[in-house]
Amino acid sequence: MSDQVETTLKEILTEDLDIAENEVSGTSRLVEDLGLDSVALAIGVVAIEERLGVKLTEREMLETKSVDDLVALVRSRMATV
């Protein structure tokens, strides 16, 4: 993870959602690998909006499969802002 979006998302996953840093990679699946549940998804949505200024829904987070997919989704939303 190298740019600001990736760095911030990794911080959200590790700090806000208490996921071990060594478990987070681009190919990590949000639900299956990292174990995000509905509460974690809600916390993630709020943290993304607060830190990156991007509004996502819990449904979008749930439908996003991997960390790389989430990075791409956030970047696409930032491009339209």
Segment 21-69, tens digit of pLDDT: 999 999 999 999 999 999 999 999 999 999 999 999 888 988 999 999 9
Q: Which two tokens stand for residue 21?
A: 């840093």
Quote the pLDDT of residue 40: 94
Regarding pTM above 0.75, the answer is: yes
Quote the pLDDT of residue 44: 94
Domains, in order of start, for the chain: 4-79 (1.10.1200.10)
Is pLDDT of 2 > 80?
no
Is pLDDT of 1 > 50?
no
SS3 category, 27: coil
Which among 77, 41, 72 is positioned nearest to 58, based on CA atoms? 41
Quote the pLDDT of residue 78: 87
